[in-house]
Amino acid sequence: MTEISAESATRFLEVGVGADARPIAYRSLAGEGPTLVWLGGYRSDMRGTKAERLVAFAAARGLAACRLDYSGHGESGGRFEDGTISHWVEDAEAVLAEAVDGPSILVGSSMGAWIALRLIQRRRATGAPAVRGLLLLAPAPDFTSRLMEPQLTAAQRRALAEKGFIAEPSGYSDEPNVYTRALFEDGRANAVMQGTIETGCPVHIIQGMADPDVPYSHALELVSHLPSDGVILTLVRDGDHRLSREADLLRMEQALEGLVSAARNG
């Protein structure tokens, strides 16, 4: 029987320099590779339902795992309003360098899928340890330019220009979602859906067709930017954006089983 390892307590890693320095919280689980790395969504944290299930999945199989809170999220330091895609990619990249030894499988939820795709581009460019699989849940790469900007009202555009931010009610929290001008500008600089996204590994996407935040047409468009080999898209007819029901969590685990098997046998 496989011995189940205990996940570490929360650790902190200083990322950035000077006024940009912020403590990034992460937790890791020792085990065999590839390491499963959880990358959460906008304003989510590493204690969510799917993140907890991923760690339990890894522990039960003797796999290594790692999860983190981006700056301004969860237990990490820094102001949320100062965050950008570049900042959050830097946070994740630093934690991977610190806590992940060898190949990994990146699991990105919503905005976390964008972070995952930017990470794999950067890691392939620098020769960092390989990413052996990508699992993208309700993926929202380029959401600022492709999903939000076309829907902005004249008043919202004026607020971004004059105040530097807009605040919108959230369907997932009592606190409003804050989107800054810097986030939009930095999002354009980090756009990934502009040509073929070379991943060098299998990709499995799970997308709800009843998702009110990310239409499933966005997942279909993302697939068109991925290499033709090794891409699986699972559409869940009644799936929402959270994808946190038991049936959804089982789909996540089944996808992980496939990616781990491919990583070990490929």
Look at residue 41 in the predicted model and tell me its pLDDT: 96
pLDDT in tens, 168-201: 887 777 788 899 999 999 999 999 999 999 999 9
Look at residue 19 in the predicted model and tell me its pLDDT: 86
Which CATH number fits the domain that encloses residue 258? 3.40.50.1820
User: Is residue 42 within 8 Å of 177, Cβ to Cβ?
Assistant: yes
3-class DSSP string for the chain: CCCCCCCCCCEEEEECCHHHCEEEEEEEECCEEEEEEEECCCCCCCCCHHHHHHHHHHHHCCEEEEEECCCCCCCCCCCHHHCCHHHHHHHHHHHHHHHCCCCEEEEEECHHHHHHHHHHHHHHHHCCCCEEEEEEECCCCCHHHHHHHHHCCHHHHHHHHHCCEEEECCCCCCCCEEEEHHHHHHHHHCCCCCCCCCCCCCEEEEEECCCCCCCHHHHHHHHHCCCCCCEEEEEECCCCCCCCCHHHHHHHHHHHHHHHHHHHHC
pLDDT in tens, 36-77: 999 999 999 999 999 999 999 999 999 999 999 999 999 999
More confidently predicted of 255 and 124 = 255
- What's the pLDDT band for 4 if we cut at 50, 70, 90? low
Phi, psi of 173, deg, nearest 5 = -155, 155
Does residue 183 sit within a domain? no
Most confident range (mean pLDDT) of 169-178, 203-212, 225-234 is: 203-212
pLDDT in tens, 123-172: 988 888 889 999 999 999 999 999 999 999 999 999 999 999 998 887 77
Look at residue 228 in the predicted model and tell me its pLDDT: 75
Least confident of 1-15, 71-85, 96-110, 246-260: 1-15
Share of the chain above pLDDT 90, in %: 88
Look at residue 130 in the predicted model and tell me its pLDDT: 86
Does residue 51 sit within a domain? yes
Does residue 216 sit within a domain? yes
User: How buried is 241 (Cβ within 10 angstroms: 0-12 exposed, 13-18 middle, 19+ buried)?
Assistant: buried
Does residue 226 sit within a domain? yes
Query: Alpha-carbon distance 32 to 217, whole Å?
Result: 36
2 pLDDT more than 60: no
1 pLDDT more than 60: no
Look at residue 174 in the predicted model and tell me its pLDDT: 75
User: Is residue 210 within 8 Å of 238, Cβ to Cβ?
Assistant: yes
Does residue 190 sit within a domain? no
Q: List the domain range (segments joined by +) for residue 40.
A: 11-141+196-265
Number of domains in the chain: 1
* Mean pLDDT score, 106-116: 98
Look at residue 173 in the predicted model and tell me its pLDDT: 73
What mean pLDDT, rounded, does the chain reach? 94
Cβ contacts of 251 within 8 Å, gap of 6 or more: 206, 234, 236, 243
